[in-house]
A and B are shown apart, each in its own frame.
Chain A
Amino acid sequence: MLAFMTRRVLYSLLILLGVTLITYLLLFMLPADPARQIAGRSATPEVVENIRHQLGLDLPFYQQYFNYLMGLLHGDLGRSFIQRSEVSELIGSRLAPSLQLMGMGILFELIIGIGLGIIAALKRDSFADRLLMAFSFIGVSSPQFIAAMLFLYFFAVKLDWFPMGGYGEFRHILLPALTLGLLGSGWYSRMVRSSMIEVLHQDFIRTARAKGLSRVRVVFRHVLPNAIVPVIPMIGIDIGIFMGGLVVVESVFGWPGIGQLAWQAIQQVDIPVIVGVTTVSAVAIVLGNLLADLVIPLVDPRIDVKKH
């Protein structure tokens, strides 16, 4: 177990190093000149040069990257070019809202997705099954921006069930999280449905039924624990997808998360913020996957990490 852990952590560090390198390289090759952007249009070439020097943008690529890594080791993500504040402070203030939204979003995804998946599997090939699968298909393929706007219009403007954006109270998180949950639940419902159907056909289920266990007990005690295994790594992957999906949902609902910060930084070529957000997101994804790998053996003892 320890060897497995060590190996996984080492891999994760390597992945993070790769992510920062690629991000840095891409931004370095970008034709936009951040020094000129900061200097404004009334600046003389000397002023631009001076700013470039102060920010270390005149250094060769490997040196800029090395300086960044050195800062990172000390927990220093640098200062935003545009906002002139510490990147760690900007990300720090937005991390909690994003994690809250991600947590609630995944919770809704699981409740809706697993619930629908069970029903669809048990009523296989019925009208209800087709309807639910159509629903999940629409969910995963709808453009998030449009769907989020429609939900906002119906549930907040027309029906007045939820507030229109805002942050701070529990009621504020419901609609954005529900939007994420409804749109993403399709992945889970399809997965749970097919893996349940597979398990339902196995001999031990027939045995369980034959010895007179109630249907509910069979489903929740025998089918579900077996069918749920593929869902767990899926959550790890989902954290990555959410890092991207949050940008849209956060901006529609005015949620003060990390996605909005990233989106604005990209538009303004605010390199320290872009690199900072990418690094933090990469850490979140890697941690998510690591966690999923560690949880699976607890749910399904047949998977033994020692053999890997």
Chain B
Amino acid sequence: MRRKALSLAVAATLFAGNLLAAEPKTGGEAVITYQNDIATLDPAIGYDWQNWSMIKSLFNRLVDYKPGTTELVPSLAENYTISDDGTEYTFTLKKGVKFHNGREMKASDVKYSLERTVNPKTQSPGAGFFSSIQGYEDMTSGKSQTLSGVTTPDDYTVKITLNQPNATFLHIMAINFASVVPKEAVEKWGADFGKHPVGSGAFELAEWKLGQQVVFKKNSNYFQPGVPYVDSIKFEIGQDPTVSLMRLQKGEVDIAGDGVPPAQFLQFKNNPQQKDLMVIGDQLQTGYLTLKTTLPPFDKLEVRKAVNMAISKERIVRIINGRAKPANQPLPPAMPGYDAAFKGYPYDVEGAKKLLADAGFPNGFDTELYVMNTDPQPRIAQSIQQDLAKVGIRAQIKSLAQANVIAAGSEKDKAAMVWSGGMAWIADFPDPSNFYGPILGCEGAVAGGWNWALYCNKTLDAEAKRADSMAKPEQQAERIALWKKIFTDVMADAPWVPIFNEQRFTVRSARMGGDDALYVDPVHVPVNYDYIWVK
């Protein structure tokens, strides 16, 4: 008993020590590894795992998120107002914000940056996000060189007019593609701006050795007081994830940017010395099986429900070493609008058989299951195939390259079932509407689209439109409640079998400080560099 009391006391002191140490320290350098190249640091172009949060730290947007959360806060904007009809946003800019080249950021820079992203010449993968701004079509079709919906009444005011109310617009203004860049630097470097980025962010680029390393140094004129905490960050590129973990344990690396490779996952997690270095976070991701609602026999609701009940999600989660949680609805738990009370379809083989018999398929049927051909996707497809066989559905697996699965997914008479693993759907911003339009709405149910169930429910589409027109802050609660209902109503039609929500695992060395949430930041993916610190 005594020993236990003593160890509790020790634990208590350690805990207190920990609390005291939680005060961020400034200075020092963090070493972060990635396997793949940093393709570009141009905010209009970068759209991958490595460069997403690097760009967030080099540049700023009018709005951003509270570190480690999905809560919107003003950033370059001092404040903003939204007109009563929800179509006009007026941003008042902070004064005295300097770009890394020393020039003050003005309203004209905001207008220039948005137009640069939308301009077809830029070839930005993010241009489509801004389609609700007035004048977008004129610009993408080449009729105009400017966005008529973006005006600058004075140096510190930006007014943006939308074609229709869009409740997600502030999220769109917080996405990387809306980052503010200085025109003179973009023109100076031309197509090479991505290798010579100039922004206003917490860090500026100090050195870039192609294919080897990128070094960020602290922006000492940063407009947010107190941050960043570290003096510099060294990103080492081309590092194998397994080797990165070994180097981290040796003290050469502070954050293994690519996380824990699947093969090492259980070993790492079960090692008492290592498991505390791992931070687990939710990802705004859902893995799902689509059922082509226009293609018999999946045009029958009973059949789709039966498939929902026939698949053991627990077993699939075991196949991927528990790196995900079973899902029962399209939205992931970390997304506003997720319905924690919703039960979904139970795993019930007998019930599924009965539904199939009722639908006129007592002996099942033959069908196809499309899947991307890299591990673990084919193994997951096999598990689905076995589950379906138990209720009499004979699914043939078509394991193809990613591009081929995506192409087949939207075809009317092909790909009756598609397992989404490795292809879809990670949210671009933390709002439920991002999980509806392209993948469940009528607009996505077209050739070349992403709605592979070709599911189109006009009533829900109208509801979705109504939800997205509720742009006023005081309507937020009502809006989220409406989205919650839309997604549970989708499940009544069962166009998908939601399988799991992947989790994220970041490994950081013991000398790294800062809240765990920063290391699995839902928006500054993978890590929020501005707020981490070295002990």
Residues of chain A touching chain B, judged by Cβ–Cβ distance below 8 Å, are: 31-33, 36-47, 50-51, 54, 79-80, 82-85, 89-90, 93-94, 149, 152-153, 157, 164-165, 167, 250-256, 260-261, 264, 269
Contact = CB atoms under 8 A, between A and B. Distances in A.
Nearest to B121: A54
Contact of A85 (B125, B195, B209, B450): B195
A44 B128 contact: yes
A246 to B, nearest CB: 12
B128 A47 contact: yes
Nearest to B428: A42
A180 to B, nearest CB: 16
Given A42-B129, A85-B194, A33 B403 contact: yes
B238 A43 contact: no
B92 interface: no
B128 A254 contact: no
A256 B211 contact: yes
B128 A84 contact: no
Interface stretch (B68-76, B239-247, B376-384): B239-247
Interface stretch (B34-42, B104-112, B312-320, B472-480): B34-42
A31 B242 CA distance: 32
Contacts of B47: 40
Contacts of A31: 401, 403-404, 407
Chain B interface, >50% SS class: loop
Nearest to A90: B210
B211 A261 contact: yes
A47 B140 contact: yes
B123 interface: yes
Contacts of A254: 236, 238-240, 243
Interface string B250-267: 101000000000000000
B127 interface: yes
B372 to A, nearest CB: 12
Q: Which residue of B42, B127, B194, B252 has the most chain A CB atoms within 10 A of its CB atom?
A: B127
29 contacts: A36-B403, A40-B128, A43-B128, A44-B128, A44-B131, A46-B140, A47-B128, A50-B140, A51-B120, A51-B123, A79-B191, A80-B39, A83-B37, A84-B39, A84-B192, A84-B194, A89-B210, A93-B210, A93-B211, A157-B250, A164-B246, A167-B212, A251-B240, A254-B239, A256-B209, A256-B237, A256-B238, A260-B238, A261-B37
B45 interface: yes
B273 interface: no
Contacts of A261: 37, 211
Given A42-B129, A167-B212, A256-B238, A47 B120 contact: yes
A257 B387 CA distance: 45
Q: Which residue of A33, A80, A85, A89 has the most chain B CB atoms within 10 A of its CB atom?
A: A85
Given A51-B123, A254-B236, A41 B211 contact: no
A31 B373 CA distance: 15
A252 B140 contact: no
Given A32-B401, A79-B191, A264-B37, A40 B120 contact: no
B448 interface: yes
A152 B242 CA distance: 11
Contact of A38 (B125, B140, B210, B250): B125
Contact of A50 (B120, B125, B126, B428): B120
A68 B127 CA distance: 29
Nearest to B124: A40
Given A44-B128, A83-B194, A260-B211, 4 more contacts: A83-B39, A84-B192, A93-B210, A152-B246
A161 to B, nearest CB: 13
B125 A153 contact: no
Contacts of A46: 140-141
Contacts of A89: 210
B250 A40 contact: no
Nearest to B237: A256
B37 A40 contact: no
Given A33-B403, A164-B246, A254-B240, A82 B39 contact: yes
B438 interface: yes
Nearest to B123: A51
A149 B246 CA distance: 11
B40 A252 contact: no
Contact of B238 (A45, A85, A157, A250): A250
B450 A41 contact: yes
| In the A-B complex, the 5 residue pairs with the closest CB atoms | A40-B125, A42-B128, A32-B403, A93-B210, A256-B211
Contacts of B123: 38-39, 51, 54
B46 to A, nearest CB: 10
Interface in B390-443: 401-404, 407, 428, 438
B239 A165 contact: yes
Q: Which residue of A36, A40, A51, A264 has the most chain B CB atoms within 10 A of its CB atom?
A: A40
Nearest to A167: B212
A51 B246 CA distance: 42
Given A40-B47, A43-B125, A251-B238, A85 B247 contact: no
Contacts of B40: 82-85
Nearest to A251: B240
Contacts of B236: 254
A97 to B, nearest CB: 8
A25 to B, nearest CB: 18
B246 A84 contact: no
Contacts of A94: 210-211
A54 B122 CA distance: 10
Contacts of B120: 47, 50-51, 54
Contacts of A93: 209-211
A125 to B, nearest CB: 42
